[in-house]
Amino acid sequence: MKVYNLACPLDHRFEGWFASEADCLAQQEKGILACPVCDSTEIVRMPSAPHIAKSSSTELSISKPESTNLSGDVVALTGQDHSQLEAQVQAAFLKGMRDLMGRSEDVGNSFAEEARKIHYKEAPERSIRGQTTLDEAESLRDEGIEVMAIPLIPAFKNTLQ
């Protein structure tokens, strides 16, 4: 297994896990190796420290509690498996955020006003996103308008839209 530190032209840095160096190069040539943040396929390998496998002290165990009636297998995640899972979760989150950004209209600071217009049928129904205060968001919920606060890392806003 080869683990490479990778980056795109926008300096989004991420790890890539490959069966071999040839696998990495083949994915790069086919254009299927892409940045999980901006989907750029212009990926470069960055310098990295060698990966040194550690003993079983890096293993994490998840097991069934004895006091419950739950059935299931015992799962042991090694440090490497945990890193792969973490990378997969991060990629899925970023994909979901890109999808959300792509399917909603940015109304900026007019979020609360536009949400009310949509709710009271004064504006066409659509998915919107924007900024408002916590008090205003609570007022919207009190009026029966469903809103969800999503923390958005400022650097992602431009790259995800």
Tokens for 81, please give them. Answer: 């498996």
Q: Where are the domains of the chain?
A: 1-47+75-94, 104-160
Q: What is the pTM of this model?
A: 0.46
Among candidate residues 75, 47, 51, 82, the one with its CA nearest the CA of residue 61: 75
Tokens for 161, please give them. Answer: 């839209």
pLDDT for the residue numbered 156? 53
Q: Which residues of 84-95 are buried (b: 16+ CB within 10 A; e: fewer)?
A: beebeeeeeebe
pLDDT for the residue numbered 128? 92
Of 12 and 152, the one with more pLDDT? 12
